[in-house]
Structure 1
């Protein structure tokens, strides 16, 4: 099968005005009245066998599906998520358990009022899951990449969307199958009060995210060998698909606003279409409801009407920028972390984004920064590691400037393994 030719036609396409307005309304409805609101934290876990540290699959006896079925009684029956007769997600107040393509178990927590709430809520998740894991003889580890298994050995879980993603990412860019099947992250979400506030936070998160990623790196392995890259997950995302990753195009232009963001995500090919919540698609089969979209953007896939919230979330979620705007702001830079380090990361995010004096200090310091400066900082970190100088300053400067004291950069994510990554 030939590799598809990259199309730039979407750059000339004008998105449907009704779709643009739908996104603008979606962002407007996401505004928080709290001013300094809470957090959402997502911690993904890699399931590995106790016997040999290889990946646990969804389908194997005593695998991921068995785990979900065993812990389902602790969650709300009316919040179970099924696909193709398989259980793929659970939820109750404050906790959602879902699956990434390679069976990574994601625990979404929030909304948290303060960073220390993370540990309290996460303990309730582990209280229910750990006894079952012991009986099934596997565990959930916090690394940015599987410690032993190769992506080729990991099966995709039974969601039709992941078949479509595999078809697309297996033929575009680099690292797509690796990202889908073997990588694992920690993400922190914050709120915004208006358009200006959201754009400022998007910019600041994009700027400082790579530096924080250095101090919170947690990927000692890649494809069963010592990890050769200082920031593996950053490299995977940066080279995954240039149309939908890295820095949001135009973000540092002073005129940039919600409409520019909406036009960007609506004009880019969707990666894959999701018509499961599109009434006009009723009667289509599962594979027709999810199909690769190498060239189709939202206007090609969705009807000439206002988009519903599910369609909007899908469109935005096919973009993997370093920082993403939904009806909240999602900071996406970090490897999967043990909960103590995730809590410390959330404390730093709170200090930088919700403390007015710290926020103004960041805005003043980075005044006039350009998109290419962020690219250079990321490349500097990848090339020089501990000797890097992102934005022209050594890492010791950033440690103090961003309040990253007390971080153990090489704290192992799984006590059974020594952390082979060198600081």
Structure 2
């Protein structure tokens, strides 16, 4: 273990946990450097796909014959050789300007696109990806579909792919919460990231997003199946995340306290058990064995693991990436509520996010509406939406009224669904 000292006790969610003040300052500095005081209005969009075999819809694994690893290998020539991600001889990621491909633990195929400045750019870049991937997929006999959860295969029948981080996550999440292994192996999302101008703007977007985005998630819901059966509740993927590990998922603790700021967010991240320790970019760990540099951490947090010094950007990025709040703060605001969506709906979702969060008048109205809302009220709204769906009344307002207020009344029904199951999505 790398030695540490000079720990302080600051945290909303983990009272009494050790948190190093230099580490807090490192995260705050990272957030400050991510701010864009000059408006840029950029988007990052991540669409996770579920690989399923043609004819059966059974999940396709990473290492199986004509599987996901072979798809990556055959896509390799379209991407930059110097930006590949290879671990222990296995190709796990590809990248070129504007697009990156990575894999989630159950071989979910994530396509990350950005930075975009117009929502319609999403389809332009994504169409190029599909033009390259679809002929290969046809030859391999499987396809990439967009649902919130695998349609046929249950989590116990999916093997995680060979990445050390995911092996540690599998160990950790298999011992905490309720749905951690379901989340890792079978779930898929659409995520949209946006810019912030300063600390106040970042916190405001996190608050509004945490309160509002579950309503948008219902309007864009796309999870008809869970463990091979009809999905048991309208927002099942969100429930999976809420129950995966309450220490690092759901609402950010303290977010709706008016005093909440970047230091509080940093303290919460740093106080949480790390789940997976990564010291591969920690100079003090040079010369340690692979098992000493990367391992599962049930109790250790950052103050137990990292030295008493400012953290470098790789260490900060690792810590932030192992926190899974509904709205996550990095050097952008990442909104994580939504099921995996076909590209037409993903573009509409991106446009909706821009209309609500980048239009000053719209965002001011949302801030006013949610001003004074409490964490308990946001949790109650989420539970209402998860349990009652279209009959819910989040914050005392009907879903149809929200649909009209968000400008989605006429547009959702015009978006085509997945060509395999065209009737799944009902607005």
Is TM-score (shorter-chain normalized) higher than 0.5?
Answer: yes
Alignment partner for residue 343 of structure 1, among 337, 347, 354?
Answer: 347
Contact preservation (8 Å) 2:37, 2:198: no
TM-score (norm. length: structure 1)? 0.95
1:385 maps onto 2:389 in alignment: yes
Alignment partner for residue 62 of structure 1, among 63, 66, 71?
Answer: 66
Tell me, in whole angstroms, the C-alpha distance in 2 between the residues paired with 1:145 and 1:286. Answer: 33
Gaps of 5+ in 1: 1-7
Return the offset for 1:79.
0.4
- Residue of structure 1 in register with 2:370 after alignment: 366
Return the offset for 1:355.
0.5
Tell me, in whole angstroms, the C-alpha distance in 2 between the residues paired with 1:46 and 1:21. Answer: 39
Return the offset for 1:272.
1.4
1:105 maps onto 2:109 in alignment: yes
Return the offset for 1:421.
6.8
Contact preservation (8 Å) 1:147, 1:223: yes
- Residue of structure 1 in register with 2:263 after alignment: 259
Alignment partner for residue 185 of structure 1, among 183, 189, 198?
Answer: 189
Return the offset for 1:143.
0.3
- Residue of structure 1 in register with 2:33 after alignment: 29
Return the offset for 1:383.
1.8
The 5 Å alignment of 1:314-333 reads 314-333=318-337
- Residue of structure 1 in register with 2:75 after alignment: 71
1:40 maps onto 2:44 in alignment: yes
The 5 Å alignment of 1:110-149 reads 110-149=114-153
Contact preservation (8 Å) 1:44, 1:106: yes
Return the offset for 1:418.
4.9
Tell me, in whole angstroms, the C-alpha distance in 2 between the residues paired with 1:49 and 1:276. Answer: 36
Tell me, in whole angstroms, the C-alpha distance in 2 between the residues paired with 1:328 and 1:342. Answer: 19
- Residue of structure 1 in register with 2:237 after alignment: 233
Return the offset for 1:128.
0.9
Alignment partner for residue 207 of structure 1, among 197, 202, 211?
Answer: 211
Contact preservation (8 Å) 1:10, 1:269: no
Q: Structure 1 residues 9 and 50 mapped into 2: Cα distance closer, same or farther (>3 Å)?
A: closer
Deviating more after overlay: 97-106 vs 288-297: 288-297
Tell me, in whole angstroms, the C-alpha distance in 2 between the residues paired with 1:253 and 1:237. Answer: 23
Return the offset for 1:406.
3.0
Alignment partner for residue 199 of structure 2, among 195, 208, 224?
Answer: 195
The DSSP-based 3-state class of the residue aligned with 2:190 is strand
Contact preservation (8 Å) 2:42, 2:117: yes
Superposed CA RMSD: 1.7
Alignment partner for residue 282 of structure 1, among 275, 283, 286?
Answer: 286
1:397 maps onto 2:401 in alignment: yes
Tell me, in whole angstroms, the C-alpha distance in 2 between the residues paired with 1:207 and 1:36. Answer: 24
Q: What are the Cα deviations for residues 133-180 of structure 1, in whole angstroms up to 9, with x where unaligned?
A: 011110000000001101111110110011100000001001111000
1:218 maps onto 2:222 in alignment: yes
The DSSP-based 3-state class of the residue aligned with 2:239 is helix
Gaps of 5+ in 2: 1-11
Return the offset for 1:220.
0.6
Q: What are the Cα deviations for residues 163-218 of structure 1, in whole angstroms up to 9, with x where unaligned?
A: 10000000100111100000000000000111111111111111111000000110
The DSSP-based 3-state class of the residue aligned with 2:111 is strand
- Residue of structure 2 in register with 1:270 after alignment: 274
Return the offset for 1:346.
0.6
Return the offset for 1:87.
0.2
Tell me, in whole angstroms, the C-alpha distance in 2 between the residues paired with 1:128 and 1:416. Answer: 21
Return the offset for 1:283.
3.0
Tell me, in whole angstroms, the C-alpha distance in 1 between the residues paired with 2:207 and 2:249. Answer: 15
- Residue of structure 2 in register with 1:172 after alignment: 176
Return the offset for 1:36.
4.5
- Residue of structure 2 in register with 1:352 after alignment: 356
Tell me, in whole angstroms, the C-alpha distance in 2 between the residues paired with 1:293 and 1:235. Answer: 25
Q: What are the Cα deviations for residues 103-132 of structure 1, in whole angstroms up to 9, with x where unaligned?
A: 001000000011111111111111111111
The DSSP-based 3-state class of the residue aligned with 1:188 is strand
TM-score (norm. length: structure 2)? 0.94
Contact preservation (8 Å) 2:344, 2:415: no
Alignment partner for residue 252 of structure 2, among 245, 248, 251?
Answer: 248
